[in-house]
Structure 1
Amino acid sequence: MGNSSETVSFVLAAYGNVGELKHLYFIIILIWYFSICVANTVLIVVIRLDRRLHEPMYILLCNLCLSEINGSTSLYPLLLSQMFSDSHEVTVPWCFLQMFCLYTSASVEICSLAAMAYDRYISICNPFTYNVIMNTDRVFLMILLVWVYSFLSVIFSYSFIFSLKFCGNIIHSVYCDHQLIIRLSCAVPIQSFISDISFAIVSAFIPFSLISFSYLRILRVCQKTSKENKQKAVTTCTPQIISVSNLCVGCICYFIDFRFVVSRVPDEVRIILPMYVLIFQPMLTPFMYGFNLPKIRQHIIKQWTDCLANTSFS
C-alpha cells in the first residue's frame, strides 16, 4: 500500500486470538461497559438532584464522570462490534476518530483532576476567599477550558497522522492506537517524536505538576491545623489521590508495553496491559467518590432507604 489515501481500512489483528471464547468475552465486556455507564450516570444524577451538592467540587466531579463515559464509549462499542466480525477491519476515519476521542478523554481526565486539586487547595488553604474564587461561573469556565485545552492539545500533537504514508494495515491490538499506527507508516517522521513529547508535556506533565503543587501546599497547611481539619482534608482528597495514582500506574503499564520489547510476556497480557486505565479507571471514579465523600454517600443511602420504605408501604 503506497499511501494513506490508498489505505481505506486497518485490521485489528489481536481479535484473531479470541477463538471460541468470543461469546464469553462479549458478555463480560458488555456487562462491564454497561456498569461503567450506569455507575457514572448515577453519580451525575445524584449530584444534579441534590441541591446541597451544587458546589464546585461536585460540579467538577460530574465533568470527570462525563469524561469516563466518553472515554469508555470511545473504546467498548468497537470492542463489542469487532467480537463477531470475520475481517476485524476498521475504516481509517473511524480508527482516527477513536484515537482522537480516547486521547482527548485521557487529557480531559488528567486536567479535570488538576482542576479538582486546585479546588481543594483553595478550599483548605484559602477558605475565606473560596466562594469568591470558586464561584459557579468560574467553575463552568474551568470545565470549558479543560475540554478546549484537551481537544486542541490532541489536534496539535497528532494531526500530522492524517498525512502519513502507510506501508501496512495490520494493527496488533484491539483498538486504534497512535503508536501502532505510526509503526505502519513507510517512514517514521520526526513529528512522531515531537508530538509524543508535546502531548506528554501539555496533557500530562503540566496537569500533574499542578496536582503535585496543590497537594504539597495542602500537606503543609494540614501540618499546622487541628486534627478535625486534617481528617476532613484527608476525606475529601483521598479519592483524588487514588485516581491520580491509578493514572500513574496506567501510564507506566502503557509505557512498558510500547517502549520495550517484552518477548516473554503472553499476548493476552501485552494486549490488556496498555488498556489498564481504560478498563479500571472509569469504574474506580464513581465508586471512590460515591462511597468516600460523605454528602454523596448520605444522599445515596437516603434515596435507597426511601425507595425500600415506599416499596414496603406499597
Structure 2
Amino acid sequence: MKNITQNPGYFQFTLFADYGRLRYLFFMLSLLIYITIISANMVIIITILLEKSLHQPMFIFICCLSVNSLYGSAGFFPRFLVDLLSDTHFISRTSCFIQIYVIYTYASCEFTILGVMAYDRFVAICQPLHYHTKMTIRKAVFLWGVAVVYPICTLTYAIALTSELPICENKLDRIFCANRAVVNNSCGDSTHGDIVGYFIIFSTVFIPLFFVLYSYLRILVECKRGSAELRGKALQTCLPHLVTFVTYSFSLFIEMAIAKYDTNTINPVISAILSLEYLMVPSINNPLIYGLKLPQIRTAIFRYKSGPFKNYSRKVQFYPS
C-alpha cells in the first residue's frame, strides 16, 4: 500500500542509464540538434518579419509554428542536456510541473495552429475570391490568439488539478516530466483530472484533426474539378502543411501511446528514442519543410543570405520609429 504521508518534493527519471563516456557523445548530438532547432526556426521567424511580401496570413501562421517550436524545445532540451551529464536525475516537484506545462501547451498549440492553417488553405483554394476579405492580417492574428489562449487556459486548469494530488511515489519512467506519469505516482482520486484531460485531448487534438481532414477533402474535391493551374497552386501551398501535419500527428500519437502503455515492458532505449522523436522531429521538420518547399520563403532566405546589407534600408522601413 502506498504511503500517502510521503508526498516527496522531487521526482526521479528512471530511463537514464549509465552510458559511461558515451553520454558525452549523446550530449553533443543533442546539443547539435537543439542548436539546429533554434537556428532553423529563427531563420524562418526573422525572414518573415523582415520580408514585407511575406506579411500574409499563411506566413504569419508559419511564423507562429516556429515560435511554438522554440517554446516547446526550451521546455525540454536545457533540462535534458543537464541530465545527460549528471550522475543523478532528480527534478523538483515545481520544476517538473513547469516542464509539464510548457511541453503540453506546446503540443496542444501546435495542433490548434495547424488546424487554423487548414482553414486558411481551405479559404484560399475553395473561396479564392473571398480570401482577402475573410483572411485579413487582423483575423489571422485573432485566430492565432484563439489557437494559443484556449490550450493555455484548459491546460492550466488540468495541470493544477494534477498538482493538488497527493504523491506517494517519485519514480518517473520517462526522460522528461509527463502528466500521466505523475498521476500514476499519486494515491488520490484522479477521476476529475482524467475527465478534464480527455476533454482537452478531444478539443485540442481530435477536433483540429477532423477539421483538417474535412478541409483537405473539400480542397481535393475542388482541385478535381478545377484547372491544372489550381491543382499546381494547391499542391505548392498545401503540401508543406500536409507533411507537417502528418509528421506531427504521427509523433503525438506515439507519445500518447507511450503515456498509456506500461514503459517497464519496453526497452528503455526505444522508449527514450520515441519520446525524443516527439519533441525533436516536428521542431526540425517545420522550418525545413517551409523553408525549402515554399518558394516565397526560400527566395527571401537566399536574398538576405547573399546580400544582407543590400536590404538594410528596407529592414529599417519595416520598423517605423
Shorter-chain TM-score: which interval? over 0.9
2:172 paired residue number: 171
Whether the 8 Å CA contact 1:3–1:164 is kept in 2: the answer is no
2:92 paired residue number: 91
Report how many aligned residue pairs link the two structures: 310
Which segment drifts farther, 36-45 or 157-166? 157-166
Normalising by the residue count of structure 2, what TM-score does the alignment of the two structures yield?
A: 0.90
Which segment drifts farther, 237-246 or 152-161? 152-161
1:79 paired residue number: 80
Query: What amino acid is the match of 1:28?
Result: L
Which segment drifts farther, 262-271 or 69-78? 262-271
1:155 paired residue number: 156
Counterpart Cα distance in 2 of 1:50 and 1:283: 22
Query: What amino acid is the match of 2:8?
Result: T
Shift of 1:72: 0.5
Whether the 8 Å CA contact 2:68–2:109 is kept in 1: the answer is yes
Shift of 1:265: 4.0
Which segment drifts farther, 112-121 or 273-282? 273-282
Q: Does 1:211 align with 2:240?
A: no
- Does the C-alpha gap of structure 1 residues 109 and 298 become closer, same or farther in structure 2, counting only changes over 3 Å? same
Counterpart Cα distance in 2 of 1:65 and 1:74: 14
Query: What amino acid is the match of 1:138?
Result: K
SS at match of 1:11: strand
Q: Does 1:257 align with 2:255?
A: no
Gaps of 5+ in 1: 310-314
Counterpart Cα distance in 2 of 1:212 and 1:87: 45
- Does the C-alpha gap of structure 1 residues 86 and 260 become closer, same or farther in structure 2, counting only changes over 3 Å? closer
Counterpart Cα distance in 2 of 1:259 and 1:243: 25
Which segment drifts farther, 58-67 or 251-260? 251-260
Counterpart Cα distance in 2 of 1:296 and 1:113: 18
Shift of 1:195: 3.0
Whether the 8 Å CA contact 1:4–1:164 is kept in 2: the answer is no
Counterpart Cα distance in 1 of 2:218 and 2:161: 39
Shift of 1:307: 6.2
Which segment drifts farther, 154-163 or 124-133? 154-163
Whether the 8 Å CA contact 1:182–1:192 is kept in 2: the answer is no
Q: Deviations over 1:202-259 (max 9, x none)?
A: 1101111221121111111111111111011011001111111112211332233233
Whether the 8 Å CA contact 1:254–1:275 is kept in 2: the answer is no
Counterpart Cα distance in 1 of 2:194 and 2:182: 14
2:117 paired residue number: 116
Shift of 1:148: 0.7
- 1:51-66 aligned at under 5 Å gives the runs 51-66=52-67
* Identical columns (%): 27
Shift of 1:3: 5.1
Shift of 1:44: 0.7
Which segment drifts farther, 212-221 or 254-263? 254-263
Shift of 1:110: 0.6
Counterpart Cα distance in 2 of 1:135 and 1:307: 29
2:314 paired residue number: none
Gaps of 5+ in 2: 311-321
- Does the C-alpha gap of structure 1 residues 134 and 3 become closer, same or farther in structure 2, counting only changes over 3 Å? farther
Query: What amino acid is the match of 1:74?
Result: G
